């Protein structure tokens, strides 16, 4: 360790080791104080604002001059852009007017002006201009830092390629994380977020070491600090010494070799030692993820979270655009099953920022509830799905079912969509299978309500655990209460597998639990035969299944259902896993 070295602990959401330099991303909801400035101090407050702007201007100019000739050309352009934004009267003059009019502090005036500007950016058609939103925030952050008395921190020009950079953020929305897919960061870490928050879920899909719930990382880490990210242990080492660095480089190398070895299992069927066949499918967010799913040996897509097509945009995808996305996924999977979930918007994934914000969005108008309140929009998706079903093996999956009536209404709408295609002479798979997600405890307990109407079920343990244990999955302060081994969860899961089995309705599991190798054998012993997870987990889970013997696992798993003591449960799980 160096004198400045320290570690921060969080929750690892994707394993592996990354080593690189920190890149801090700004947060849109900057927190600033708001206080009244007496009239006689207003001129002084305005001068304080001017001085901060001037200081940042000088910082940026200095930075511009010091850009080495070898630095990427984008770097100088990026500084120029920030200078232009800073010099625009909207940022450098307008806040003065606000200080005078509202008699408020400079920080508040700047924040008010930034919010007004960002609102304008959101309505812009031009994607380039819209993307400049982040730049405005970064410039404002710089001025705020000077106003707060912190010395201006001028990051040295980034010399590393992006794949050696580590993204450090206070919080990231699922939509933000999806945008990072276009980048090649080595890792990302955030202060907020729980294990099954959608941010963590999407992070796993990036298959890079990542940690959430670090609490103060964004505050403690500076731009360009050297970081080691141990995604398996959930540890960040800031500014490591030479010895530690060498040790982690070795571990990283070993981890990569292991990964490569596992990839050789790609074409091996997932069958236990005693011959029980298991289907291993992948969870995806976009048709572009299909390639990775196939590379990792997925024999189907168990969950295509279609709502991600609706995020990061100003208008909703129309029927043709959706059709193309579903068709592409289905065709690229070469006839293997592709289960597409109808959009699960609401809660933490809003397509439309103007949507009503409620106190408990996870208990509000989300998923199928939202779809049924806007049948026209839902019909567009159903038509797109049906049209795409002509080109591959598509199944439709309905999220968050709670009442029998929701299934009836969803099926009626599907019938309407089919009729409209019939009238237009458009082909589709008439026997398209329709399934429901079991993620609300009420649905798990009254499963017969769904087994008599649907072709298959898929258990969403992320939500099932959230709703059963009353822990908001987006709230990192209760993330430690996430417990897939809670007797209530085990009882619900065993009940679902049993009732569905008796009814002859296939059941899959597509929550994060499916990709957790500590749970693989337990789930197998409880009766699960179809797992769906992020592609990166497929090889590990497959290896675990290949080494498992159902005959020995089953009695132990059944025994766990009769135990309530958490320690004994853990000990039994250990026995199952050895």
Binding footprint of Mg ion on the chain (CB under 5 A) = 439, 460, 463
Residue partners of 220: CB distance under 8 A and separation at least 6:
6, 8, 238
Calculate the CA 163 to chain-centre distance: 19
The contact pattern for ligand PEP, residues 274-313, with x = CB under 6 A and - = no contact, is -----------------------------x-x--------
395 lines the binding site for ligand PEP (CB under 6 A): no
**Judged by CB under 6 A, which of 105, 339, 402, 462 binds ligand PEP?**
462
Burial class of 377 by CB neighbour count within 10 A (0 to 12, 13 to 18, 19+): middle
**Judged by CB under 6 A, which of 92, 199, 402, 461 binds ligand PEP?**
461
**Judged by CB under 6 A, which of 460, 484, 515, 525 binds ligand PEP?**
460
**Window 201-240: residues binding ligand PEP (CB under 6 A):** 201
- Please answer whether residues 510 and 180 qualify as being in contact, where contact means their C-beta atoms are separated by less than 8 angstroms: no
Name which of 158 and 193 has its Cβ closer to Mg ion: 193
Distances in Å between the Cα of 381 and the Cα atoms of 367, 370, 372, 376, 497 are 13, 13, 12, 9, 30
Name which of 317 and 460 has its Cβ closer to ligand PEP: 460
Q: What is the Cα gyration radius of the chain? A: 26
Tokens of 291: 């390639």
Distance CA 433, CA 557 (A): 31
Name which of 105 and 402 has its Cβ closer to Mg ion: 402
**Window 409-448: residues binding ligand PEP (CB under 6 A):** 439
As measured in angstroms, the least distance from the Cβ of 93 to Mg ion is: 48
Name which of 234 and 515 has its Cβ closer to ligand PEP: 515
Q: Is 510 a catalytic residue?
A: yes
Tokens of 257: 């070799």
Give the interface segment with ligand PEP, choosing from 25-33, 38-46, 53-61, 458-466 (CB under 6 A).
Answer: 458-466
Calculate the CA 256 to chain-centre distance: 23
**Which of the listed partners (ligand PEP, Mg ion, none) does 305 bind, with a CB threshold of 5 to 8 Å by partner kind?**
ligand PEP
Q: Is 276 a catalytic residue?
A: no
- Please answer whether residues 215 and 33 qualify as being in contact, where contact means their C-beta atoms are separated by less than 8 angstroms: no
Give the interface segment with ligand PEP, choosing from 27-35, 217-225, 460-468, 494-502 (CB under 6 A).
Answer: 460-468
Residue 137: DSSP 8-state: H
**Which of the listed partners (Mg ion, ligand PEP, none) does 510 bind, with a CB threshold of 5 to 8 Å by partner kind?**
ligand PEP
**Judged by CB under 6 A, which of 171, 344, 406, 472 binds ligand PEP?**
344
**Judged by CB under 6 A, which of 45, 176, 406, 463 binds ligand PEP?**
463
**Which of the listed partners (ligand PEP, Mg ion, none) does 461 bind, with a CB threshold of 5 to 8 Å by partner kind?**
ligand PEP
As measured in angstroms, the least distance from the Cβ of 460 to ligand PEP is: 3
As measured in angstroms, the least distance from the Cβ of 501 to ligand PEP is: 20
- Please answer whether residues 232 and 516 qualify as being in contact, where contact means their C-beta atoms are separated by less than 8 angstroms: no
Name which of 51 and 442 has its Cβ closer to ligand PEP: 442
At which residue do the structure tokens 């609490």 appear?
215
Distance CA 122, CA 114 (A): 12
Name which of 225 and 439 has its Cβ closer to Mg ion: 439
Tokens of 186: 């080595």
Name which of 82 and 305 has its Cβ closer to ligand PEP: 305
As measured in angstroms, the least distance from the Cβ of 441 to Mg ion is: 13
Name which of 205 and 451 has its Cβ closer to ligand PEP: 205
As measured in angstroms, the least distance from the Cβ of 513 to ligand PEP is: 8
Distance CA 65, CA 446 (A): 68
Distance CA 92, CA 54 (A): 9
At which residue do the structure tokens 């093996």 appear?
393
- Please answer whether residues 15 and 251 qualify as being in contact, where contact means their C-beta atoms are separated by less than 8 angstroms: no
- Please answer whether residues 522 and 560 qualify as being in contact, where contact means their C-beta atoms are separated by less than 8 angstroms: yes
Tokens of 296: 């990792």
Query: Residue 284: enclosing H or E segment and its boundaries?
Result: strand 279-284
Q: Which one is catalytic: 23, 198, 534, 537? A: 198
Query: Residue 8: enclosing H or E segment and its boundaries?
Result: strand 6-9
Q: Which one is catalytic: 14, 104, 371, 510? A: 510
**Which of the listed partners (Mg ion, ligand PEP, none) does 110 bind, with a CB threshold of 5 to 8 Å by partner kind?**
none
Total residues contacting ligand PEP by CB under 6 A comes to 11
Name which of 439 and 476 has its Cβ closer to Mg ion: 439
Distance CA 158, CA 150 (A): 22
Name which of 406 and 463 has its Cβ closer to Mg ion: 463
Residue 391: DSSP 8-state: T
Burial class of 416 by CB neighbour count within 10 A (0 to 12, 13 to 18, 19+): middle
- The closest of 212, 137, 136 to 174, measured between CA atoms, is 212
As measured in angstroms, the least distance from the Cβ of 92 to Mg ion is: 46
**Window 502-521: residues binding ligand PEP (CB under 6 A):** 510-511
Tokens of 259: 């990964």
As measured in angstroms, the least distance from the Cβ of 19 to Mg ion is: 34
Query: Residue 461: enclosing H or E segment and its boundaries?
Result: helix 461-469
Q: Is 285 helix (H, G, I), strand (E, B) or coil?
A: coil
**Which of the listed partners (Mg ion, ligand PEP, none) does 10 bind, with a CB threshold of 5 to 8 Å by partner kind?**
none
Give the interface segment with ligand PEP, choosing from 137-145, 177-185, 448-456, 461-469 (CB under 6 A).
Answer: 461-469
- Please answer whether residues 212 and 189 qualify as being in contact, where contact means their C-beta atoms are separated by less than 8 angstroms: yes
Interface residue list for ligand PEP (CB under 6 A): 201, 303, 305, 344, 439, 460-463, 510-511
What residues are labeled active site? 198, 510
């Amino acid at each position: 360790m160096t004198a400045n070295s320290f570690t921060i602990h969080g929750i690892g959401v994707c394993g592996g080791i990354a080593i690189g330099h920190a890149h801090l991303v700004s947060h849109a909801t900057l927190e600033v104080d708001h206080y009244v400035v007496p009239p006689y101090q207003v001129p002084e407050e305005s001068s304080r604002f001017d001085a901060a702007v001037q200081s940042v201007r000088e910082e940026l100019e200095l930075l511009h001059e010091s850009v080495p000739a070898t630095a990427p050309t984008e770097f100088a352009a990026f500084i120029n852009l920030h200078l232009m934004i800073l010099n625009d009267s909207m940022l450098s003059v307008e806040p003065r007017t606000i200080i005078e009019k509202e008699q408020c502090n400079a920080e508040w005036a700047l924040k008010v002006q930034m919010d007004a500007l960002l609102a304008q950016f959101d309505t812009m058609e031009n994607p380039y201009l819209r993307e400049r939103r982040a730049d405005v925030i970064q410039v404002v952050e710089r001025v705020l830092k000077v106003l707060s008395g912190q010395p201006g921190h001028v990051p040295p020009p980034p010399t590393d390629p992006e794949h050696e950079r580590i993204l450090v953020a206070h919080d990231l929305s699922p939509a933000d994380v999806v945008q990072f897919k276009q980048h090649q960061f080595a890792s990302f870490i955030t202060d907020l977020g729980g294990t099954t928050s959608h941010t963590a879920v999407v992070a796993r899909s990036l298959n890079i070491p990542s940690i959430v719930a670090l609490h103060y990382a964004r505050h403690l880490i500076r731009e360009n600090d050297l970081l080691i990210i141990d995604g398996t242990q959930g540890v960040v080492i800031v500014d490591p010494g030479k010895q530690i660095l060498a040790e982690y480089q070795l571990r990283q190398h070993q981890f990569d070799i292991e990964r490569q070895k596992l990839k050789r299992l790609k074409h091996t069927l997932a069958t236990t030692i005693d011959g029980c066949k298991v289907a291993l499918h992948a969870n995806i967010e976009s048709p572009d993820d299909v390639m990775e799913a196939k590379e990792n040996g997925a024999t189907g897509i168990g969950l295509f979270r279609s709502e991600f097509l609706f995020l990061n945009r100003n208008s909703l995808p129309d029927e043709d655009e959706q059709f193309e996305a579903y068709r592409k996924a289905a065709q690229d999977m070469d006839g293997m099953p592709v289960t597409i979930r109808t959009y699960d918007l609401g809660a933490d994934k809003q397509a439309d920022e103007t949507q009503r914000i409620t106190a408990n969005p996870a208990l509000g108008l989300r998923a199928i509830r939202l779809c049924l309140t806007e049948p026209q929009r839902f019909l567009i998706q159903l038509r797109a799905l049906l049209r795409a079903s002509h080109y591959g093996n598509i199944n439709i999956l309905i999220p968050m079912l709670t009442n029998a009536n929701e299934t009836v209404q969803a099926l009626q709408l599907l019938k309407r969509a089919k009729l409209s295609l019939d009238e237009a002479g458009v082909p589709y798979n008439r026997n398209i299978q329709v399934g429901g997600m079991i993620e609300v405890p009420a649905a798990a307990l009254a499963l017969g309500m769904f087994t008599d109407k649907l072709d298959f079920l898929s258990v969403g343990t992320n939500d099932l655990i959230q709703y059963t244990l009353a822990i908001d999955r987006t709230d990192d302060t209760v993330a430690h209460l996430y417990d897939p081994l809670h007797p209530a969860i085990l009882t619900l899961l065993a009940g679902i597998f049993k009732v569905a089995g008796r009814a002859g309705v296939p059941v899959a599991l597509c929550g994060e639990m499916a990709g957790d190798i500590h749970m693989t054998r337990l789930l197998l012993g409880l009766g699960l035969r179809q797992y769906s997870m992020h592609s990166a987990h497929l090889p590990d889970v497959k290896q675990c299944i290949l080494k498992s013997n159902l005959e020995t696992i089953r009695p132990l798993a059944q025994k766990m259902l009769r135990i309530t003591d958490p320690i004994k449960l853990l000990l039994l799980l250990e026995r199952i896993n050895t």
